[in-house]
Amino acid sequence: QKEVEQNSGPLSVPEGAIASLNCTYSDRGSQSFFWYRQYSGKSPELIMFIYSNGDKEDGRFTAQLNKASQYVSLLIRDSQPSDSATYLCAVLTGGGNKLTFGTGTQLKVEL
């Protein structure tokens, strides 16, 4: 079982719709969770982090964490073509010393 799992996609949504990206993790002791956006050929850019159960909102982005079910999700409201990218889920593992990434979900926002 991979430490951090994501559906590779692509996930296609129409412009203006809500995009929902999901991630599961295996280390029950994980404390912090991160979402990075990566455009093709570019480096990852941090969007949000979350470490408490529940929702955390930042503009059009909402991160959701459920530690009991070991999943974290990212919702993007009013999706724009500029949101088209790969979204990487990362989990702080190894006692809080190591960031482990999933393989990423490719999001395509269509006009």
Partner 1 sequence: EAEVAQSPRYKITEKSQAVAFWCDPISGHATLYWYRQILGQGPELLVQFQDESVVDDSQLPKDRFSAERLKGVDSTLKIQPAELGDSAMYLCASSLIFGTPSYEQYFGPGTRLTVT
**H/E element holding 71?**
strand 71-76
- CA angle in degrees (0–180, nearest 5) for 51-20-43: 70
Assess 71 for contact with partner 1 (CB under 8 A). Answer: no
Residue 67 to residue 14: CA distance in whole angstroms:
30
Letters for 8-47 (x = contact with partner 1 by CB under 8 A, - = none) are x----------------------xx-x------xxxxxx-
Q: Structure tokens of 66? A: 């459920």
* Binding region for partner 1 (CB under 8 A) out of 12-20, 61-69, 71-79, 94-102: 94-102
What's the closest the beta carbon of residue 16 comes to partner 1, in angstroms?
29
Assess 98 for contact with partner 1 (CB under 8 A). Answer: yes
Task: Identify the sign of the CA torsion 65, 66, 67, 73.
Answer: negative
Residues in contact with partner 1 by CB under 8 A are 4, 8, 31-32, 34, 41-46, 49, 51, 88, 90, 92, 94-104
